[in-house]
Structure 1
């Protein structure tokens, strides 16, 4: 079950190393909540410009991370090791890694800080992130950070590859399905903007219902499907198709790739 953390009452200093898509999404998301002082760190001037209005400080100097309570590494897996080599963190700091396939042990062996591995997604920007976080190393401070920009599930690290596929890659799969519904709407005569708004809002509302309602997904489907109505006809077509198999195959492929990436990052 996903958990939602309570907002914290004290100022937490957060340094985000890597201000691209995911790092930038976190920085923008934290801007809309109280209690965080954010320093954006990146060697790319353009990346810093893109987030400068959302962070209290921007710099290309990684040593600035030493002043943070929580340091977030949001860079590509291939450069995690070089970033760690440039950091000199204290034992009382917490290092949160966002890099797919990079084990907690690999990172912990290269820093004095306490390490937590997280697989977030881009919805952090709007406060709707779904994140998986390793149980080992997790602190209330990190729980608060994740809860400030969305919801999270605590998992054993052995499950991080499948979590990466479900919530890390999942937004792209959802976008694909939204676009399919949008296309159907356009084909039926709706304007593109109308079809996109209706499809996207429908997914948003359905997701909120799943999260907040005590009924199972099957029970919710039944609640929408009136006998001899329109929805039940549509569901019949879906169930006779290979749509569910396609989604499962997408998740399995993403999980397989996550495992392949992990092979380059051992605890040794």
Structure 2
């Protein structure tokens, strides 16, 4: 399947590289020649959006919210093509009104480069096969009602930054305790990766998994008592809430 990705910043380039990893024919489109040059050699590169979308079954618009409108106006898609906005806060209706293609709204994240992305997606008549295939190959996805896209944006779109923040805190604690910074970073990164694998493959709830690690009288239960007494989860919930509110504000401010 041929896919065009318009916008090759951090997100767009991650999507491009993830699709290349899976053997897709990818056309990367950006006015910035340096952004195009930074991509893998096997990627087709085009500055003109009109030319870039020719023959593509799926067009991914991975640009900042404020330029989605001009980008959609820079090419003509027909009803046989799917046009998926990967931009935060841009409503499905906004995309639908500006293209003849089948409109889809997606909230991805940067892990697409490593085919470990998770995405939230909404569409008028269910997720098109082209989008389902691409999102499966980039990682995984969930289909949600559009009214839930703002909270989804906060959880999975902004979420990596919140996870990186927690990882940094644990790494720094390891360094303060005497570990080499690189060693501490390796231990933390693999710990998060392993914990995620357990959550995805184990039928127990998160609370049950916490209890499974907390052997009576052991080290983990001592640490968990500190976390529970401090209500350390509250700032993360507040961060998600702030990101959700900002998503709503962007939609309103830019009339998206």
Could you state the TM-score of these two structures normalised by the residue count of structure 2? 0.97
Partner residue, 1:61: 48
SS at match of 2:78: coil
For the pair 1:125 / 2:138, whether they are aligned, the reply is: no
Partner residue, 1:46: 34
Distance 1:117 1:135 in 2: 6
Q: 2:66·2:254 contact (CA, 8 Å) conserved in 1? A: no
Q: CA deviation at 1:130?
A: 1.1
Partner residue, 1:200: 189
Q: 1:108 aligns with which of 69, 91, 96?
A: 96
The structure-2 alpha-carbon separation of the partners of 1:228 and 1:169, relative to structure 1 and needing over 3 Å to count, comes to same
Q: CA deviation at 1:53?
A: 2.0
Q: Which runs of 5+ in 1 are unaligned?
A: 1-11
Partner residue, 1:140: 129
Q: 1:66·1:90 contact (CA, 8 Å) conserved in 2? A: no
Could you state the TM-score of these two structures normalised by the residue count of structure 1? 0.92
Cα deviation 1:215-254 (Å, max 9, x = unaligned): 1111111111100000001000000113100000000000
| Alignment root-mean-square deviation, CA | 1.1
Distance 1:183 1:266 in 2: 42
Q: Which runs of 5+ in 2 are unaligned?
A: none
SS at match of 1:15: strand
Partner residue, 1:78: 66
Partner residue, 2:169: 180
Q: 1:18·1:40 contact (CA, 8 Å) conserved in 2? A: yes
Partner residue, 1:156: 145
For the pair 1:241 / 2:230, whether they are aligned, the reply is: yes
SS at match of 1:263: helix
Partner residue, 1:218: 207
Q: CA deviation at 1:65?
A: 0.7
Q: 1:165 aligns with which of 154, 174, 199?
A: 154
Q: 1:41·1:62 contact (CA, 8 Å) conserved in 2? A: yes
Distance 2:120 2:22 in 1: 21
Distance 2:207 2:231 in 1: 18
Partner residue, 1:228: 217
